[in-house]
């Protein structure tokens, strides 16, 4: 459906390692910031959608995650919908909240994403990612990843998936090797993504990592799973991000002078297809452009799901930012760096801002909203008018499990 919901306020905690801060405190901080930014009280909220992926595994909080978080700040009575959809949990929460406002069911709603992934037992953290594949096929998946690594001569990637690191780094590593073989993409291109995003993240006070890295530093870092060095892999993290969405009538009542509109949000699951065929990313981006009445050439700024550096280059392809396979050229040209023709991941992306999986999708919306409102300080994209967020999660067979593409306009 065509959407017409307006972002009235945004809030976000710094992402990072918050061992002594619980889900409730993280979520509460983001909500209170978003409500204050919207200029309303908590009592104005009519419904809430709360995205979280891993609390059950990492903290033990199941079933009523959103209610527990919101009740801690005195917010009860309203309907709360808990949303779990892998790394796309928060963008799915936003998708549903925006649809309900656009349909006229509510005038003021909350979309919140919150996650805690750090745990003294690292295996608990990694288990959150191992559960985002078909666990009944786990042995087959691990065997396939190890076979792919050995056939390519990879040593680090030949063992340890899901034990020493997130299994998804091995999935991304295998995809990266395939992209290099098919399109001639190089490891220097992947390092260029990490270096670019580290430059952006160095200017973001809410980013988990603030050190700017060179391509050479990225390449010299410890190997995780060939060809991915550590800075090419997004870190786990804790954090929360929130958005208050309102109807057109409520926006006028609040006197929002420069509204940021959610004009399109397309959510799909993946399907079984051949590697070369179009997948969820291709279809979601095409439908999002059609709903918004724009093309990729109209975009001002993009926040995309760079859970690994190769994932960013692959997303360039299916978002239509370049001809298929030419993502590496965008890095060579500096096209997606601040000052380039289409800055991507001005927040630092998942690689540097961090990746508390259940919060990531709404953190992207926070960054884009602030960009479109001219509130991004040193990271500001001049004249930004249209922003796109792409957020995917999970993996089944040859495709992502969940994919969401959202477009914002001023």
List 14's β-bridge partners, or say none: none
Q: Look up 87 and say whether it is catalytic.
A: yes
CB count in 10 Å sphere of residue 4: 15
373-397 burial: b if 16+ Cβ within 10 Å, else e = beebeebbbeebebbbbbbbbbbbe
Q: Is the dihedral of CA 11, 16, 21, 24 positive or negative?
A: positive
- Our CA angle for 107, 82, 62, nearest 5°, is 155
Which tokens belong to 336? 């997606």
Q: What does the alpha-carbon distance between residue 269 and residue 398 come to, in Å, rounded to a whole number?
A: 12
Cα separation, 260 vs 258, in Å, equals 7
Which positions ≥6 away from 146 have C-beta within 8 Å? 157, 158, 159, 161
Kindly report the length of the chain: 410
Say which residues have a Cβ less than 8 Å from residue 395's Cβ, sequence separation at least 6: 132, 133, 168, 171, 401
- Residue from 63, 87, 284, 322 carrying the catalytic annotation: 87
Q: Across the chain, which distance is largest between two alpha carbons, in Å? A: 62
DSSP string, 180-240: HHHH---HHHHHHHHHHHHHHHTT-TT-S------HHHHHHSPEEETTEEGGGBPPP-BEE
Percentages helix, strand, coil for the chain (3-state, rounded to 5) are 45, 20, 35
> Taken in order 33, 38, 41, 45, is the CA torsion positive or negative?
negative
> Which residues are bridge partners to 161 per DSSP?
165
| Strands 260-269 vs 5-12: parallel, antiparallel or unpaired | antiparallel
Quote the CA–CA distance of 227 and 154 in Å, as a whole number.
8
As annotated, the active-site residues are: 87
């Amino acid at each position: 459906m065509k959407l017409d919901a307006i972002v009235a306020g945004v809030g976000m905690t710094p992402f990072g390692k918050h061992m002594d801060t619980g889900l409730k405190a993280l979520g509460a901080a983001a909500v209170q910031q978003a409500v204050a930014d919207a200029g309303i009280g908590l009592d104005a909220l009519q419904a809430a959608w709360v995205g979280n992926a891993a609390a059950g595994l990492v903290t033990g909080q199941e079933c009523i995650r959103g209610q527990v978080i919101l009740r801690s700040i005195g917010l009860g009575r309203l309907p709360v919908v808990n949303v779990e959809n892998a790394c796309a949990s928060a963008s799915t929460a936003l998708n549903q909240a925006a649809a309900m406002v656009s349909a006229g069911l509510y005038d003021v709603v909350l979309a919140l994403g919150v996650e805690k992934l750090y745990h003294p037992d690292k295996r608990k953290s990694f288990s959150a990612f191992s559960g985002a594949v078909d666990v009944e096929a786990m042995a087959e998946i691990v065997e396939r990843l190890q076979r792919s690594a050995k056939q390519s001569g990879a040593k680090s990637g030949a063992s340890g998936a899901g034990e020493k690191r997130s299994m998804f780094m091995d999935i991304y590593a295998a995809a990266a090797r395939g992209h290099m073989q098919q399109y001639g993409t190089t490891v220097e291109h992947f390092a260029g993504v990490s270096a670019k995003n580290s430059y952006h993240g160095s200017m973001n006070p809410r980013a988990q990592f603030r050190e700017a890295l060179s391509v050479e530093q990225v390449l010299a870092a410890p190997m995780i799973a060939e060809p991915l060095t550590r800075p090419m892999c997004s870190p786990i993290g804790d954090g929360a991000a929130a958005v208050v969405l309102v109807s057109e009538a409520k926006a006028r009542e609040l006197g929002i002078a420069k509204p940021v509109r959610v004009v399109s949000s397309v959510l799909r699951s993946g399907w079984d297809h051949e590697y070369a065929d179009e997948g969820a990313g291709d279809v979601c981006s095409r439908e999002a452009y059609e709903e918004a009445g724009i093309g990729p050439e109209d975009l001002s700024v993009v926040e995309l799901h760079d859970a690994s550096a190769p994932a960013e280059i692959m997303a360039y392809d299916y978002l239509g930012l370049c001809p298929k396979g030419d993502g590496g050229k965008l890095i060579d040209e500096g096209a997606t760096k601040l000052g380039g023709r289409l800055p991507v991941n001005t927040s630092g992306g998942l690689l540097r801002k961090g990746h508390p999986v259940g919060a990531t999708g709404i953190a992207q919306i926070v960054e884009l909203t602030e960009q479109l409102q001219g509130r991004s300080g040193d990271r500001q994209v001049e004249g930004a008018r249209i922003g796109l967020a792409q957020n995917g999660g999970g993996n089944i067979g040859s495709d992502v499990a969940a994919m969401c593409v959202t477009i914002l306009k001023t």
